[in-house]
Amino acid sequence: MKELLQTLVQAIGPTGHENTVRELIKTLIEDHVDEIIVDALGNLIARKGKKQAGGLRIMLSAHIDEIGVIATHIDEKGFVRFTSLGGVRPYTAYAGHVRFINGTQGVIGMEPVDSATTVQPLNRMFIDVGAESKDTCPVSVGDFGVFERPFIDLGKRVVSKAMDDRAGAAVLVDTIRQLKQSPHELWFVFSTQEEVGLRGARTSAYRIEPDVGIALDVTLTGDLPKADTMDVALGKGPAIKVKDSGMISSPAIVGWMCDTASEFDIPYQLEVLVGGTTDAAAIQINKAGALAGCISIPCRYVHSPSEMVDMDDIENAVKLVVKLLENPVEFTN
């Protein structure tokens, strides 16, 4: 699993240009699913099984885009001005390493600041790709890039860019491979453009029209020094989402997830996230609506190039999803 996760997080997939990640996942799952669709927004949509008696149509979504940068202007000296794709904070951007899709690497600099504790906004920063003039700059306006940083293996815990949400994608890939049978019609969506507004999930939910939607994504934790209060910690199991700022999980789904985890002795925690949301929010209000919930991987330093997760949480998330999907379930209102 660690190897799978490392492969996924190190692939480049800024919002809107997820094709490298999509092709990678396609090769990992194509022998284990019945049908694969790539839609207009670039979502990788894989179906496994057909709805049987007592079965439901279930959509599971993990987004494959990551936050990044896009070039807006190349100045005369060859410096690249840029804006963000998704939520990039200036203090995690400065002095960061960037890799553009065309392979060009660079480092982020900024205009002078008055004090050592302040940082310029992104529009006062620039990417230095080592070019000496506009003409020799290998980057053009509209080029997409991501933040780069090596994968660190700390044992049980690992650190990388793009854990948000390749950790969720890894859970789904492993689930697809481990799941032997299910009464449900399962639609695994590796969605695009989540970071700019759940766009891929919205159009794929429209296509699938699921009875139940589940997102696999990362969530924040409250286990850091002086952290805001939040009862989610690394290593205490996958977090079953109760509420975030875009969705109130369907109570039936929360109950189903908690009961299943308890039944199979899988550790879990309950999540109430104050800011942020997931693909499940888009699925829940698709067309005439669906039951929806989310299983989150606790993650520290989200939206920085050094996101940390605990491998136990990921393994337990796979266990939980497999158990949820193996058996029939009936929801009563």
x/- map, 212-231, other proteins, by CB under 8 A: --------------------
Among 51, 157, 207, 323, binds other proteins (CB under 8 A): 207
List strand residue ranges (DSSP E) for 90-184, in order: 97-100, 105-110, 125-128, 144-148, 152-153, 157-160
Does residue 72 touch other proteins according to CB under 8 A? yes
Stretch that binds other proteins, among 64-72, 172-180, 291-299, 320-328 (CB under 8 A): 64-72
Measured from the CB atom, the residue of 77 and 156 that comes closer to other proteins is 77
Q: Which amino acid is at 4?
A: L
Rounded to the nearest 5 percent, the helix, strand and coil shares of the chain are 25, 30, 45
C-alpha to C-alpha distances, 254 to 64, 198, 291, nearest whole angstrom: 24, 21, 10
Does residue 102 touch other proteins according to CB under 8 A? no
Does residue 203 touch other proteins according to CB under 8 A? yes
Q: What is the DSSP letter of 260?
A: H
Does residue 103 touch other proteins according to CB under 8 A? no
Stretch that binds other proteins, among 10-18, 49-57, 248-256, 312-320 (CB under 8 A): 10-18
Q: Are strands 157-160 and 212-219 parallel, antiparallel or unpaired?
A: unpaired
Hey, which residues are catalytic here? 194
Q: Measured between alpha carbons, how far is 271 from 267 in angstroms, rounded to an integer?
A: 13
Measured from the CB atom, the residue of 193 and 219 that comes closer to other proteins is 193
Q: Edge-to-edge strands of the sheet including 57-63?
A: 35-38, 44-48, 185-191, 57-63, 212-219, 291-298, 239-243, 269-272
> What's the closest the beta carbon of residue 287 comes to other proteins, in angstroms?
10
Among 9, 11, 12, 17, binds other proteins (CB under 8 A): 17
> What's the closest the beta carbon of residue 148 comes to other proteins, in angstroms?
20
